Structure 1
Amino acid sequence: MHVHLPVTVHQARLGPREFQVVRPARPPRRALLLDEGPYLNAYVDDEAARLLAGLWSLAATSPRSLIHVPLRPTGVGSPEPGARPLDLVLLHHSLQFAPSRWKELRGLLGPGRRRSLSAPASEPEVDYEALHHAENRDHFHQHLHAETLFVTGSAKVFRETAGAFREVARHGPAHVRDTTRLGHYCARLHSGDMRTGTRTREIHIEYTDSWPDGPA
C-alpha cells in the first residue's frame, strides 16, 4: 500500500554537484518543530502527522534527494520561551551532503516543478534484537544548522520509524478529545528506535488540536 504526495521538486548546483530538493507542495499548516533543550519536540495535528509520515517514508525511497519540510510558519504562534523553531531536512547518508552548505543551497532553489510522488504507507517488521548487534549500521545522525534539523540515515531506518507519525495521526485526535483520559498523546523516536548513540536526541512527537486558528 502506498500514499501519493503532492510535492515540488527543485534542482540546484553547488560547484560540480547538482542536488535535488523535494518539498511538500503545501507545507504542514499546523506543525512546529522546536529545539527545547534536551529534547526535540514536534507538535502536530493529524493532517500534519500523516504528511510527515509520508515524507519520512519518501526519504527511504529517494536516496538521491534532500526532503525539506518547512516547519517555521509565522502564523502558528510563538513557541515557549527559550525554544528554537526549526525546519526539517531528511536525507540518505550516501548523499554525503554537508549541512554547512544548506543555507547556500536553499538560497538557489526556485519555485520547482509540481509532481506527485509515491511513498510506502506501511511499516516493515522490525527485528529489534538485531538493532543491538555490533555490526548494525542502520543509524540516524542529527545536525543543526541554519535553523534546520538534519536527520541523516539509511533507507531501512527511515522505513522502520515512519510509523511513529502514523501512530500519532491515527490515535491522537480521539485520545485527546476523550474526557476520561489525560488529554496527552505522543510518540517518541528515542535511541532504541533510531539506533543512535548518546549524542542523538530523542524526538518527541505530540498531537495537539490547540492552534491559534481553532481546533484541528
Structure 2
Amino acid sequence: MKLHLTLHDARSGRESFRVVRPASPPAHAELFDDSWYLNAYLDQEAAQLMAGLWTLAASSPRTLVHLPLRTAGGGTPGDRALDLVLLHHSLRFAPARWKRLRARLGPGRPRTVDLRPPRPRPREETEGTHPRHADDRDRFHQHIHAETLFLTGSAPLFRRNAELFRDVARSGPAHPRTAARHGHYCREVDCGIHFRGLHIQYVDPADEQD
C-alpha cells in the first residue's frame, strides 16, 4: 500500500518534531466526540487510509501522525468534530503543545511511503489480546485538546488495531444494504476501563446521497 503524505518539521520550544499528514484528506471520514463514545464514520477508502496511518504510526515512533477530520456538518446536535493524532508513547509529546505546533507546520513537502503487507505477528503480540485478558498497561492513552483526539500507544498496539480498519474496509462494503435498517458494520478500538472506546462504523457514501 502506498501512502501519499505531506511531511512537516516544526519546533516547539527547544524541541523539533516531525508531523505527517495525508496529502489529500479522505472525502468520507468523520470523527465525533458524543460524550459516550468516540465515533469514527468511514467509507472504504477512508478505512484503508486509516489502516495505513496506524501501520505508519507503529513503524515511526518519532513522528506525530495527523489526520485532519473536522467538518462543518454531520453528527448529531452536541457532537464535537475532532481531528486525530497518533503517536508513540516514547515521544512524550504533551497534547497541550499541539495547538502552537500545528500553527507552525507550514505547507510541508510531499513524500510517498510504500507500506509492506502485514507480516504474521509474533506470539508475544497475539497472546492475551482478547479484551478480557489484555495487559491493561498496553492500552491507548487518550486525550482531547485543541479539537484533536490524541491516541498514544506502543508499536504492537498500533499494528494490532490497524487490522480493525482493514477489516472495516474489507467487510463493510459487503455488509447487506438491507441491514442498515437493523444495524451497521462496525469494530471498536478498546482503550481499557479508563478511557472510552473508539467506535469505527462503515458508511457507504451512496447511502448518504439517498
Q: TM-score, normalised by structure 2?
A: 0.89
In structure 2, distance between residues paired with 1:108 and 1:188: 33
Verify: 1:127 aligned to 2:106, yes or no.
Answer: no
Q: Spell out the pairing of 1:193-212 with structure 2 (5 A cutoff).
A: 196=192, 198-210=193-205
Give the RMSD, CA atoms, in angstroms: 2.3
Deviations 1:133-180 (A, max 9, x none): 76x743210000000000000111001110111111101112043569
Residue equivalent to 2:169: 169
User: Shift in Å at residue 78 of structure 1?
Assistant: 2.9
5+ residue gaps, structure 2: none
Which of 98, 118, 125 is matched with 2:114 structurally?
118
Residues 19-75 of structure 1 deviation map (CA, whole Å, 9 limit, x = unaligned): 00000000111011010112101001000000001001100001110000001133x
Judging changes above 3 Å, is the alpha-carbon distance between structure 1 residues 138 and 5 closer, same or farther for their aligned structure 2 residues? Answer: same
Aligned positions of 1:31-110 closer than 5 A: 31-74=29-72, 77-110=73-106
8 Å Cα contact 1:42/1:205 also seen in 2? yes
Decide whether aligned partners of structure 1 residues 179 and 84 sit closer, same or farther in structure 2, where only a CA change above 3 A counts. Answer: closer
In 1, the alpha carbon distance for the partners of 2:180 and 2:158 equals: 34
Aligned residues: 205
Contact between 1:46 and 1:207, CA under 8 Å: does it hold in 2?
A: yes
Partner of residue 138, structure 2: 138
Q: Is the 8 A contact 1:177 1:183 kept in 2?
A: no
Q: Give, in whole Å, the separation in 2 of the partners of 1:123 and 1:86.
A: 32
The residue matched to 2:174 in structure 1 has which SS? helix
- Identity rate, percent: 54
Deviates more, 1:124-133 or 1:24-33: 124-133
Shift of 1:79: 1.8
Q: Is the 8 A contact 2:2 2:112 kept in 1?
A: yes
Q: For residues 108 and 72 of structure 1, what CA distance do their matches in structure 2 show?
A: 19
Tell me how far apart the structure 2 counterparts of residues 154 and 8 of structure 1 sit (CA, whole Å).
23
1:190 aligns with 2:166: no
Q: Distance in 1 between matches of 2:64 and 2:117?
A: 20
1:214 to 1:121, Cα distance in 2 relative to 1, 3 A: farther
| Structure 1 portions without partners, runs of 5+ | none
Deviates more, 1:151-160 or 1:115-124: 115-124
Q: Deviations over 1:100-144 (max 9, x none)?
A: 01000000011101000133442644424277476x743210000
Q: Deviations over 1:67-89 (max 9, x none)?
A: 00001133xx3320111110000
**Closer, same or farther: CA 92–180 of 1 in aligned 2, 3 Å:** closer
- Tell me the amino acid that sits aligned with residue 73 of structure 1: T
Which stretch shifts more, 125-134 or 154-163? 125-134
Query: Which residue number in structure 2 is paired with residue 28 of structure 1?
Result: 26
**Does the 8 A contact of 1:124 with 1:159 survive in 2?**
no
Give the TM-score of the pair, scaled to structure 1. 0.86
Which portions of structure 1, spanning 4 or more consecutive aligned residues, are displaced by more than 6 angstroms?
none
